[in-house]
Amino acid sequence: MNAAPLPVPSAAFMLERLSHLVALGFGAGLSRRAPGTVGTLWAWAAFLVIDALWRPSDLTWAVLIGAGLLVGWWASVRTAERSGIADPGFVVIDEIVAFWLVLWLAMPMGLLGQAVAFALFRYFDAAKPGPVRWADQVFKGSGWRGGWGIMFDDLVAAFCTLLVMALWRFW
């Protein structure tokens, strides 16, 4: 049985406002299949490019991620309001910021470690076990509260990913 395709806005919708462009991950959210996965892949690639070209310090990464969280919250609120969907699947800025957090805190690691981080994050974000399910439900709604909910469950998924990776490294 195939799941119904997710509603996906047009490129015109994305380019209509800066908030839409940011929320849709500069196009990653336009994917008709698994936009969260595409957004996470975009985050991974962008992280590696930024890290290789700019070599940001830990403080700079902390500021980038913190600013991304705040801008993503704003963009999520505005895009959800304009789309009429409380938690649109095409909003992927939440995956981007959360996966940057995972990579920043888990680096340095090789390609295998990064792939494991990607797989774990996608599992926690998509399957929503335990604490991620709770985080997904606690801030449901519209407006700024709902926008925070869009971002918050991905931060909890990032925390769960980092916890599993820390346990993996310990053993």
Q: Are 94 and 72 in contact (CB under 8 A)?
A: yes
Which pLDDT band holds residue 3 (cuts at 50, 70, 90)?
Answer: low
1 within a domain of the structure (yes/no) = no
pLDDT over 80 (residue 32): yes
Number of neighbours of residue 89 by Cβ within 10 angstroms: 15
What total of structural domains would you count in the chain? 1
Task: Please tell me the predicted confidence (pLDDT) of residue 163.
Answer: 98
Residue-level pLDDT at 38? 98
For residue 3, is it within any domain?
no
Q: 141 pLDDT exceeds 90? A: no
4: in domain: no
How far, CA to CA in Å, does 75 sit from each of 17, 147, 169? 10, 8, 35
pLDDT of residue 7: 67
Specify if 129 maps to a domain.
yes
Residue 135 structural domain: 11-170
Q: Looking at the domain assignment, is residue 59 inside a domain?
A: yes
Q: Which residues contact 26 (CB under 8 A, 6 or more apart)?
A: 42
Query: Is a pLDDT exceeding 80 seen at residue 6?
Result: no
Q: How far, CA to CA in Å, does 142 sit from each of 79, 93, 99, 120, 159?
A: 11, 17, 24, 29, 25
Determine the average pLDDT of the residues in 11-26: 96
**How many CB atoms neighbour CB 171 within 10 A?**
4
Model pLDDT for residues 54-85, shown as the tens digit of each residue: 999 999 999 999 999 999 999 999 999 999 99
Cα angle value 153/145/60 (rounded, 5°): 60
- Is 6 a domain residue? no
Within a domain: 69:
yes
Q: Is the dihedral of CA 134, 92, 23, 70 positive or negative?
A: positive
Q: How far apart are CA 74 and CA 115, in angstroms?
A: 30
Render pLDDT for 99-111 as a digit per residue (tens, 0 to 9): 999 999 999 999 9
Q: Is residue 97 part of a domain?
A: yes
pLDDT value, residue 8 = 73
**Letter for the amino acid at 1?**
M
> Is residue 2 predicted with pLDDT exceeding 70?
no
Identify the pLDDT of residue 140. Answer: 87
CB 77 within 8 A of CB 144: yes
Whole-model pTM: value is 0.93
The rounded distance, in Å, linking the Cα atoms of 75 and 34 is: 20
